[in-house]
Structure 1
Amino acid sequence: MDPESVARATRVPHGGTTDESVLDFSANTNSVRPAGVEDVYADALTASTRYPDDDYGDFRAAASDYVDCDADSVVPTAGGLEALRLAFEVTLTPGDSALVPEPSFSEYDREIRLQGADPVAVGHDEILDVDPEPHEVAVVCTPNNPTGELADPDRLRAFASRCRDADTVLVVDEAFLDFTDAPSLAGEPGVVVARSLTKMFGLPGIRAGFAVATGDLGDRLAVARRSWSLSTPAARVGAFCMRQTAFVEDTRTRVARERARIAESVSEQFDVSPSDAPYLLFDVGDRDVDSVVEAARERGVAIRDATTFPTLDSHVRVAVKRPEENDELLRALADV
């Protein structure tokens, strides 16, 4: 990390609220957790009087099955964002440049700048057509946050091939990919995949995730990883959750059904972006975004002001939750 760049950095806004008096649709996390996770956590807490096994063998094995890669290429991290930071730390130096999609997750820009490198913004729907050769790193988010669309798997693999030819490291953020049936790019040469476990399994406070990379790139990630990068509860809960295949399938089905229902219900009120993710982006048109957000909150629902994302100036984002919660969202939005 570049000290001079850190001195110039700032924090970036995110969704999520600690106000328990409102339903939180501003953070894209599952409302449901796998049965049995509380018992796993309790047992892990008892074991937390000792340092965790820094090899994380069981967690790596579960992750390798979850994304279909070799366990040796899995690098445990405290959430997907830690995986992204680790990827940028081992690939970027001051003066380098990195392609980033726009609008997309704001932390890409911040984390790249913390390394003293320069983010180069490209339209999120154009980045797979850009020449990666001038850049040390290229970033793709699939499904993209906040727009929600999945990158075409064939085009993404073709882009990965062009990145390899150009000696450009491709960082693929798959934080929401497990809400789709699209294959992971984990294990692809020259690619760092960043995964979050906290969205699908509804446990953002656990801070569990991992990176996947092979060859020299994987070796660098493994060496640079912080010791004891996962707490014992995070490692055990993460491994348990990744083995709950029926839960994942049920969640995908529910989210797809409810996402379509919400989109149809508000289609005359807002311009809704197509989405493959557990969230929807709305263009509120001539309405004042602050007023829309505040009106929803007065009705007991927190939604995300998406104008904090670059290029968006009239948008809000809402998560897709359980049917009864989504009913509350639709009631809150009915008259805004």
Structure 2
Amino acid sequence: MPEPVHAFTWKVLHGGPGRQPFAGLDFSVNANPYGPNPLLLSAVQHADHAHYPDPDYTALKESLGRWHGVQSGCVVPAVGASELLHRLVRAYLYPGDRVLSVLAPFGEFRRAVTLAGGELEVVQPGQAAEAVRLGVKLVYLGHPHNPTGRHLQPDELEALGRACERADALLILDLAYAPFLSLPCPPPADHLVLLHSPGKAHGLVGARPAYALASPAVAAALHNLAPAWALPAGTAALLERLPDAQEFLRETLPKVVRNAADLAGELERWFEVEHHGTPYMTVRVGDAAGVAAGLLERSLKVRDCASYGQPEWIRVSVRLPDENARLVEALKEIHV
């Protein structure tokens, strides 16, 4: 039997349901609790699932390109940002190449680097620009970061971009949760690729919509690594309608931000909490695995942060106010 080319590595742990259905309250997934966006849900449901979609997804790329003010050739649609991260690593990383992540990276990016034989180093936000040197191939930044919610200030982000340009490194800006904070972001450039995952803000994570905005050269490299018909018809239809579906965010995101602030304030009465305005926060509970298991017995699911190197912390994603109150009471029963 031939040996596999890539080193074996376990799949990454994520929030959400596992092999068994979960019928309780899920605080482990960072998604808009007021979703799904009805306009985008309708686009998925009424897509033409009987025929193959356009293999080039021309209308989709033109729609998103007009919305973002870039050429359609700069748009790379995909099923989930995870797929784009794996493609980026395959396109630009050789075994032994150096990779930086500002704070602990999204697990799929770490796994992709490991599979490619790269060497990943985690740096703190204040050290990020100085850490980028010749020989670094990729720099990953969750903006805002998951699970802490931290994000760089505009001048810090600009300095990091300049450092990547000097070092000929590609900066990967993961904007999965940027809509919740209305964070400004720069346009794509030769050394910058932007990853968008609109399913979080629109409450449609199950459709797995994602796309990259990149320079024509980077976009071409990512397109080259895509299989034929990389998106199912429903996900493609969702992304094509995305520019017309923003009223839902204007109506719901202020409520999400307000509910998250209220939840953080209540938890801070009993625990150490890190929260920076995102729909999620981290809570220091000591034995995170034990507390998560205790909550699961009460039909409440949270994210154990051990895989982020924080075994004493859990990540909590905000839900509706009465549901948030149930979580607080359960945490007090278990821990206080």
Could you tell me the TM-score, scaled by structure 2's length?
Answer: 0.90
Any idea what SS the aligned residue of 2:121 has?
A: strand
Q: Which residue of 2 aligns with 1:301?
A: 300
Matched to 1:206, the amino acid is A
Cα distance, 1:256–1:66 mapped onto 2, change above 3 Å = farther
What is the CA–CA distance in structure 1 between the aligned matches of 2:177 and 2:129, rounded to whole Å?
19
What is the CA–CA distance in structure 1 between the aligned matches of 2:87 and 2:185, rounded to whole Å?
19
Aligned residue pairs total: 329
Computed over aligned residues only, the root mean square deviation of the Cα atoms, in angstroms, reads 2.1
| Alpha-carbon shift at residue 242 of structure 1 (Å) | 4.1
What is the CA–CA distance in structure 2 between the aligned matches of 1:322 and 1:67, rounded to whole Å?
32
Any idea what SS the aligned residue of 2:201 has?
A: coil
Q: Does 1:153 align with 2:151?
A: no
Q: Which residue of 1 aligns with 2:39?
A: 36
Q: Does 1:191 align with 2:189?
A: no
Q: Which stretch shifts more, 135-144 or 6-15?
A: 6-15
Cα distance, 1:38–1:255 mapped onto 2, change above 3 Å = closer
Q: Which residue of 2 aligns with 1:121?
A: 122
Matched to 1:162, the amino acid is A
Cα distance, 1:225–1:157 mapped onto 2, change above 3 Å = farther
1:80 touches 1:194 (CA, 8 Å); kept in 2? yes
Q: Please, which runs of 5 or more residues in structure 1 have no aligned partner?
A: none
What is the CA–CA distance in structure 1 between the aligned matches of 2:178 and 2:315, rounded to whole Å?
18
Any idea what SS the aligned residue of 1:227 has?
A: coil
What is the CA–CA distance in structure 1 between the aligned matches of 2:319 and 2:65, rounded to whole Å?
28
Percent of aligned pairs with the same amino acid: 27
| Alpha-carbon shift at residue 180 of structure 1 (Å) | 1.7
- After TM superposition, the structure 1 = structure 2 runs for residues 80-229 of structure 1, keeping only pairs within 5 Å, are 80-123=81-124, 126-229=127-230
Cα distance, 1:245–1:224 mapped onto 2, change above 3 Å = same
1:76 touches 1:211 (CA, 8 Å); kept in 2? yes
2:149 touches 2:280 (CA, 8 Å); kept in 1? yes
What is the CA–CA distance in structure 1 between the aligned matches of 2:202 and 2:139, rounded to whole Å?
28
2:201 touches 2:249 (CA, 8 Å); kept in 1? yes
What are the superposed Cα offsets for residues 12-64 of structure 1, whole Å, 9 maximum, x if unpaired? Answer: 211112533211111112221112344322221xx222111122233223433
Matched to 1:319, the amino acid is S
What is the CA–CA distance in structure 2 between the aligned matches of 1:252 and 1:67, rounded to whole Å?
20
What is the CA–CA distance in structure 1 between the aligned matches of 2:5 and 2:103, rounded to whole Å?
22
| Alpha-carbon shift at residue 85 of structure 1 (Å) | 1.2
2:105 touches 2:141 (CA, 8 Å); kept in 1? no
1:104 touches 1:124 (CA, 8 Å); kept in 2? no
1:15 touches 1:26 (CA, 8 Å); kept in 2? yes
Q: Which residue of 1 aligns with 2:319?
A: 321
What are the superposed Cα offsets for residues 230-270 of structure 1, whole Å, 9 maximum, x if unpaired? Answer: 11000112332442111112232112101110111010211
Matched to 2:315, the amino acid is R
Q: Please, which runs of 5 or more residues in structure 2 have no aligned partner?
A: none
Could you tell me the TM-score, scaled by structure 1's length?
Answer: 0.90
Matched to 2:253, the amino acid is R
1:132 touches 1:138 (CA, 8 Å); kept in 2? no
Q: Which residue of 2 aligns with 1:292?
A: 291
1:143 touches 1:276 (CA, 8 Å); kept in 2? no
What are the superposed Cα offsets for residues 107-154 of structure 1, whole Å, 9 maximum, x if unpaired? Answer: 221101212222122235542442332311111111001111122122
Q: Which stretch shifts more, 65-74 or 150-159?
A: 65-74
What is the CA–CA distance in structure 2 between the aligned matches of 1:67 and 1:136, rounded to whole Å?
26
Cα distance, 1:130–1:146 mapped onto 2, change above 3 Å = same
